[in-house]
Amino acid sequence: MRHWVQTMALLAVGTPAMAQQLPLVPMPASVTPGTGMLTIGAGAGIVADARDKGAATAARLLAERVKVDRGLTLTTAATGPIRLNRDKSIKGDEAYRLVVTGEGATITASGDRGLIWGAMTLAQLLSPDAAFGRPVTLAAVTIDDAPRFRWRGLMMDVARHFQPIETLYPIVDTMAAQKLNTLHLHLTDDQGWRVEIKRYPDLTRIGGFRTPPSAGGAPGAKSGGFYTQDQLKALVAYAAARGIVVVPEIDLPGHAQAAVAAYPGEVGVLGDRPEVGHDWGIMPWLFSPAPRSMIFIKNVLDELVDIFPSEFIHVGGDEAVKDQWQRSPAVQAQMKALGLKTENQMQGWMIAELGKHLASKGRRLIGWDEILEGDVPTSASVMSWRGEKGAVEAANKGHDVVLSPAPNLYFDNLQSDRGDEPPGRIGVQTLEAVYNYDPQPAGIDPARLGHVLGAQANAWSEYLATARQKEHAIFPRLSALAEVTWSPKAARDWRGFVARLDPQMLRYRREGIAAADSAFAVNFRPQGTRGQALKAGRAVLAMDTQAATGTIRYTLDGKAPTAASRAYAAPLAVRVGQVVTAAAFTADGRTLAAPRRYDATRAAWLSAGASDFAACPKGALGLRVPLNEGQAEDAPAYNVNIFDTCTQWVAAPLGEAKAVAIEVVRLPRNYGLAHEESALRAHYAVTEHGELVVKAGGCDGRVVGTFPLPDPATAPNRFRVEAPVKGESGDADLCFQFTSPLADPFYAVGSATLEDRR
């Protein structure tokens, strides 16, 4: 019995409207509606020439994706409604044409990647909604498609927190499904060396494992890991079959502490042997530019070339403070012999030499934008991360460039200011902000725009310890980048993207991807201060979502809302004691995100958590950090200013309180600040380990409590103190200032609870 059928009907819809309706991310370059309808059900056949390996692979990937995303089993057969064909007239390896008629769906392309991307587009058309397992009826359409940029990438930082190889495979699958084609693996850094180099086994035996930082007391057991060459070759082959190239990165000359820990005599500058690093930031250890070190690095690159067939090999080049080179007579003598006047020129020489070596292997060197400071030849490609200035400069000089700027495409930035976000950088980059980014910055000579290869998101992992946390950070923002780098700029439409992202979020769930719902979660915006709410016995509460889609529905009794719950239309008065629970709903009654709660009880208004606090004057809360390095759970996490251990509860309702209980947390001070150490603010301590000084009325206000801090070596890293609050008649800032020595661990306030005066 045939499980697929064709029916004919008239499609009376214009191209723009149809494009809005298609459940596709990224949006194709050209969509032309046709006449007719095609229904695909379980058992539908995919016809591909078995002698054509690329077509057979695309057919298999199509069947796999539809099975996961829709629950339909498609089969390779001699006949059927789906066909994959070669067509040399379609120009470009990644271009394809998809034609859906009442008779069937045909994918044609000249290149293997084109066939894969066409198959992924059809897979998305076949998973348009929540009706898992049911046949799908497609409207007739012709899609002619090709990418805007050739580099559409994601960088996974597996050096800071090692990620098991099996957790990278779902990332590859999900990238391929949205036509992203470059996976950049950041394989080495101060905190770990993650790739097996057979000639130098200590790179992984020693450099692959580190002792975690301590917040006081004995350090924990070593952690880490590495990938064997066979594991990486298998991943490379898996990715290549899905149209994705894997670009490896060996970071040099800086971020070298793990390598120097393993082979100080071969690659170190001054002969010392540090431990593998556990601090985040910039460390002093560099690779030496001496012949012994250059031979070592070239040998490493040779093994890397054997593992990764990618056109580009990334050599880092970022954040290499040159103090070790400046203090080394041998390096200074080498610079003089080479006729170089600055250490940046020394780095440029080093990068150029490695570029020549890679060119001799048929490969191209790419590095972070600092390599421009060393006057490297235009054969070196540049990945611009310090904003867009490096990309503009590099392209105008004739370098190929990839846009990867911070903060725009740094996916370790939080996605919202909500207190339930996992750890990361606090410079919020919303889904919409990523979607609105364009990787062709102003300032590039129009004649040089061809040097812009594309764009890449970076998932740095200092604070992303688990695969789930990384997935939360990456998805669905990577869907936005997929559209930015594939679709024509003129076709970009935020509202249309949000509508098309709904079925993509369903696909993420079916694929087991822990995509963030931050853009769709309800945000609560209380009007006025907590003190005003406590006096009035009620608060005025506004609600919204970042994506501004769906209908917000809510309850006032703490129960989860349903599709029949009250719809939010305007700010509402919430009485003291009520608990608002809200979620945004689709037209068919599904929630777009997990329900969120706003607690309007007196106890809640008298309490504040870490995400409720602000920086002290002249400071900034830049990081949301976990209690322990490598922590698997999202909470507890604390918003901190690593340069100043001081925070405030702004407009705390002190007039309603008689005392304040403070949860104090002690965190590792594991930050490599290099030349920024001078920005650290020390507060004068009057006891051995410093104090917590609590002030009412701001950081220049009156002292309401001083608490000597315990010995970090013996005390727990969470404890509570309590201070009376007297003489305040209304709202006032409550300042928490720690005076612990800068050599001690870092302190923060986890929460503050006012004791009700009633």
* Residues labelled catalytic: 319
SS (H, E, C) 528-584: CCHHHHHHHCEEEEEEECCCCCCEEEEECECCCCCCCCEECCCCEEEECCCEEEEEE
Nearby residues of 201 by Cβ (< 8 Å), 6 or more positions away: none
SS (H, E, C) 285-328: CCCCCCHHHHHHHHHHHHHHHHHCCCCEEEEECCCCCCHHHHCC
8 A C-beta contact, residue 392 and residue 398:
no
Query: What's the distance, CA 94 to chain centroid?
Result: 26
Strand arrangement, sheet containing 538-544:
523-527, 538-544, 572-575
8 A C-beta contact, residue 156 and residue 186:
yes
Q: Helix or strand or coil: residue 51?
A: coil
Cα–Cα dist 358/353, whole Å: 9
Residue 398, both tokens:
């004739």
Q: Nearest to residue 491, comparing CAs of 26, 58, 23?
A: 26
Nearby residues of 407 by Cβ (< 8 Å), 6 or more positions away: 413, 425, 427, 429
Amino acid residing at 137: T
Tokens 């970071």, residue located: 251
- Sign of the Cα torsion 157, 159, 163, 166 reads positive
Q: Nearest to residue 194, comparing CAs of 271, 251, 234, 278?
A: 251
Q: Exposed/middle/buried for 618, CB within 10 Å: 0-12, 13-18, 19+? A: exposed
Query: Peptide bond before 476: cis, by omega within 30 degrees of 0?
Result: yes
8 A C-beta contact, residue 647 and residue 612:
no
Query: Peptide bond before 28: cis, by omega within 30 degrees of 0?
Result: no
Residue 158, both tokens:
């597996």
Query: Peptide bond before 710: cis, by omega within 30 degrees of 0?
Result: no
8 A C-beta contact, residue 421 and residue 474:
no
